[in-house]
Amino acid sequence: MDTRNITLEFVNVFIYIGNMEHRAKFFNTERGFCMTFAKVEKLPVNYKTAEDFERFAAQGNAELSMLDEFRLSLIECEDDTLFYGIYMDNELAARMALTFVDEQRDNTFYPPKGYVEITKLEVLPAYQGNKLGSSLVEFVQSFAKPVRTKARINSEAFWTKLDFKDSQKQENGLSVMTWQPTK
């Protein structure tokens, strides 16, 4: 293999600070390499996170608001949150909800198996273009379980870039996209 002509699109670097793993990603751009440093966190179900979700509701896409779902989790005091996000400059910059499905509810995957469903992934406008959405999806892919999502209008290219395939199914007018871990 001739290694002189390889162009890297990105490089993942894992950094350990204390016993915590952080991921930095270096991207090849027209101006050279740039770095993003994003740590995906499980969001606690508390009033501070509720304030972050209110800010998202005010600045983000109304269709992707998870404020009502989050408030319900807050009232029910669920111990195991399904909300994950990335903080930048002490502000919630990107977030998503995950559902872990133990058994097949539909015929998305064959043979039937459990999977993770990503819903309402969103990055605030001020933080878009920093690969935070990709970092969230790659975090889910690291579970090595099949992943399912419904691609919103004009987002199919984003999911395809992350190796998702169009299942040729529609739900509520949205394309169902899937990802399978490689063995």
Domain boundaries, the chain: 7-37, 39-179
Taking Cα atoms as reference points, which of 150, 145, 143, 142 lies closest to residue 167?
A: 150
What is the CATH architecture of 39-179?
3-Layer(aba) Sandwich (3.40)
Q: What is the pLDDT of residue 178?
A: 94
Q: What is the pLDDT of residue 66?
A: 62
Low-confidence stretches of the chain (pLDDT beneath 50)? 1-8, 10-12, 15, 17, 20, 34, 79-81
Can you tell me the distance from the alpha carbon of 183 to that of 180, in angstroms, rounded to the nearest whole number? 9
* Residue 4: partners with Cβ closer than 8 Å, 6 or more residues away: none
Q: What is the pLDDT of residue 136?
A: 94
* Residue 124: partners with Cβ closer than 8 Å, 6 or more residues away: 56, 59, 60, 91, 92, 93, 94
Taking Cα atoms as reference points, which of 50, 46, 130 lies closest to residue 86?
A: 130
pTM exceeding the 0.75 threshold for the entire prediction: no
Can you tell me the distance from the alpha carbon of 66 to that of 50, in angstroms, rounded to the nearest whole number? 10
Q: What is the pLDDT of residue 8?
A: 44
Q: What is the pLDDT of residue 3?
A: 47
Q: What is the pLDDT of residue 76?
A: 55
Q: Which residue has the tokens 């029910």?
A: 76
